[in-house]
Amino acid sequence: MDAIDIPSLRAETDRLTENLPDGSPLDAQAAALIGLAAAVSVTSLDRAAIDEAIGRALDTGASMVQLQEIIALASGLGVHSLMASSAVLLAEGVKRGLVARDVPRDVERQRLWDKHVGDDPFWTEFSSELPGFLEALLQLSPEVFTGFFEYCAIPWRSGTVRAWIKELAALACDASPSHRFRPGFRVHLKNAIKLGVGRTAIYQTLDIAAAAPEHRGFA
């Protein structure tokens, strides 16, 4: 498998935004909130950068609730462990005869699927980037499947930060040098485009992501 590096993510951005208008640049508050997401991401966790990012965001007039919403959003990167491994775990379990392949959903699993996934176009697009993830997670653990959706929904329920800023914040986390999570990167880039974000703000976000501190440990 080819390595996912920063130039390849930028090249993909070039392709997906080729016909997009430049649009408006990020305002100071949006840039600060996106920078905060990159700083608090588990792939960075640099204390000095966190201090600076929080101060900068507060200086722009962002509220404590908005900062907490962005931090909660960035903390969701932990679910990428589930995304990267669930289908692999299920396949290995099938290979070893530990679990059955293509088990029909029981009543409770079907209820959970209908409640959380259904025919929502977001999850349809999401599944195209991570084929089999949701199905594998549900088969392996309805409890973890439910927890995944409940936790990921937290920063989207309060809505004190505009949706397009949260999509760009998530994009910055996924595009940071120490993460480079292509499935999430593509999902959040496409969502930002659908929400009307132009090329200028998208490339500013990539620049913020590129400047995210390397994870050197947290004392």
pTM of the model as a whole? 0.94
Are 57 and 67 in contact by the 8 Å Cβ rule? The answer is yes
Q: What is the pLDDT of residues 169-215, one digit of tens each?
A: 999 999 999 999 999 999 999 999 999 999 999 999 999 999 998 88
Q: What residues does each domain of the chain span?
A: 6-78+155-182+198-210, 80-153
Task: Say which CATH topology domain 6-78+155-182+198-210 has.
Answer: AhpD-like (1.20.1290)
Q: What is the pLDDT of residues 33-49, one digit of tens each?
A: 999 999 999 999 989 99
| Mean pLDDT, rounded, for 81-86 | 96
Buried b (16+ CB within 10 A) or exposed e, 182-219: ebbbbbbbebbbeeebbbebbbbbbebbeebbebeeee
Report the C-alpha gap between 22 and 217 in whole angstroms.
Answer: 38
